[in-house]
Structure 1
């Protein structure tokens, strides 16, 4: 599995700021609807439900919200870089500015876990995160995320 098979270029966005998780999840629902024919409201609700189980802010300014949805046939992703980090209740209490959301089929099992592990490994790499934070162009961000070097452990 590679990030290029999960993340379409137009599903990568740079936003000036977000004020809350709720607004982030609405934005992710809109991006998912536009790029993967996912019901945006269902995506929003599923992200909210998953987040209620425990925060998906993994630390170092990174959040990995994820949810399972009916009607999907593969795992797909959306990435947002926020220019002004915001509070996400992350495990390290630091504000978040890099968000990679995953949407998986309800019965995806191991594929969902593999995708989550791949994204987690990629965004644990501080040099990749630094490059993501230094760029404001969506196409460049997509290239950084899907570069084969970033996916070497996949």
Structure 2
């Protein structure tokens, strides 16, 4: 699995402000709707439901919200870079500014887990995250993400 398979160039955004975690979930859902045709209201509901099971802030300013949804045909991602980090109830209690959300079909099984592992492994690299934080242009972010994953996979 590669980032190029997960991340549509229209699903990358730099957001100057998000007032709260809930507002960010709405931004993620709106982006998923415009990039993939996923219902924004169903996406928000699924993301918040998953978040209620335990926060998806994995530490070092990174969050990996994810949800399974009916009507999604393949695992897809949304990437948001925040100019100003927000509280996300992350495991290290640090605010979050790098967010990669995944949406998977209800029956995705192992594909969902493979995608989550790829994103988690890639965003655990602090120098990679620093490169993302230094480049707030959406097309540049998309290129960095998709090329870095190709290099790592080689």
SS at match of 1:152: helix
Runs (4+) of structure 1 exceeding 4 A deviation are 148-151
Deviation at 1:150, TM superposition (A): 5.5
Deviation at 1:2, TM superposition (A): 0.3
> What residue in structure 2 maps to residue 40 of structure 1?
40
Count of residue pairs the alignment pairs up: 154
Within 1, Cα distance between the matches of 2:151 and 2:47?
A: 25
> What residue in structure 1 maps to residue 30 of structure 2?
30
Within 2, Cα distance between the matches of 1:107 and 1:101?
A: 18
> What residue in structure 1 maps to residue 98 of structure 2?
98
1:1-154 correspondence to structure 2 within 5 Å: 1-149=1-149, 152-153=152-153
Within 2, Cα distance between the matches of 1:77 and 1:59?
A: 19
Note if contact 1:75-1:115 (Cα within 8 Å) is conserved in structure 2: yes
Deviation at 1:15, TM superposition (A): 0.5
| Structure 1 unaligned blocks of 5 or more | none
TM-score, structure 1 length as denominator?
0.97
RMSD: 1.2
1:91-150 per-position Cα deviation (integer Å, ceiling 9, x unaligned) = 000000000000000000000000000000110111110000001100110111111555
TM-score, structure 2 length as denominator?
0.97
1:7-27 per-position Cα deviation (integer Å, ceiling 9, x unaligned) = 011100001111111101101
| Structure 2 unaligned blocks of 5 or more | none
Within 2, Cα distance between the matches of 1:150 and 1:93?
A: 31
